[in-house]
Amino acid sequence: MPEENVNKEETKEETKEEKKVRKLFSLKSLLWWGIIFMVLLVGAYLVVEKVVVPSANIKKDVIHSKTVRKKREIKKTIYPLQPLVVNLAEQKARRYLKVTINLELDGPEVIKEIETLKPRLIDSIIILLSSKTLADIEDTKGKLSLRREIIASLNEELSTGRVTNVYFTEFIIQ
């Protein structure tokens, strides 16, 4: 009989192990594991879609914009004008403005037109500058406004290209 007890215990242990294996692979267990797997899969997709891809696109856009900006900068040309001295439109005192201007052009082909029209362009700048008072141009806001006015005035005269910016390399009021 002791042998029968040992066999019964072994069969009981085997049946317990079989029950664990059956429970592990039961429909309910597989369903739960499937749900957990799907949640992890959806979570991974959302992380990639919402975090990784947008940051990669931002980096790509930044690289692209830097490349485009460099290409634009290469095409632009700086054309220096001689220093200009004008009387400001002051009624009580005589004030002078000495300014040196560099023109940023949208391409080198505009230089030929600038040189052809140079007397007319300088005249329009002198007229514009001499119409200003000290109060008009002494602060940064006034200088920026003057810059825009010069650009607009010069672009009215040009036909083949455009002045894209004006740089003051000397600006002395006395």
Residue 157: both structure tokens together: 């005269």
The answer to whether residues 93 and 154 belong to one domain is: yes
Residue 18: both structure tokens together: 């079989």
The pLDDT score that the predictor gives to residue 3 is 55
Residue by residue, pLDDT tens for the chain (174 residues) are: 555 555 555 556 667 677 666 666 677 777 888 899 899 989 888 888 887 777 766 666 666 666 666 555 556 789 999 999 999 988 887 889 999 999 999 888 899 999 999 999 999 999 999 999 988 998 999 999 999 999 999 999 998 889 999 999 999 998
The pLDDT score that the predictor gives to residue 44 is 86
The answer to whether residues 151 and 112 belong to one domain is: yes
Among 173, 110, 84, 106, CA closest to 136? 173
The pLDDT score that the predictor gives to residue 61 is 61
> d(Cα 144, Cα 140) in Å, to the nearest integer?
6
Q: Which of 74, 96, 117 is at the close of a domain? A: 74
> d(Cα 134, Cα 101) in Å, to the nearest integer?
18
Q: Do residues 26 and 32 lie in contact, with contact meaning Cβ atoms separated by under 8 Å? A: no
How many domains does the chain contain in total?
Answer: 2
Q: Which of 12, 47, 74 is at the close of a domain? A: 74
- CATH code of 100's domain: 3.30.479.30
Contacts of 76 (CB under 8 A, 6+ apart): 104, 105, 106, 107, 164
Q: Is the pTM of this model over 0.85?
A: no
The answer to whether residues 86 and 168 belong to one domain is: yes
What is the span of the domain harbouring residue 97? 77-173
> d(Cα 125, Cα 146) in Å, to the nearest integer?
10
The answer to whether residues 32 and 106 belong to one domain is: no
The answer to whether residues 105 and 134 belong to one domain is: yes
Q: Which of 74, 90, 119 is at the close of a domain? A: 74
DSSP letter (8 states) at residue 52: I
The answer to whether residues 19 and 68 belong to one domain is: yes
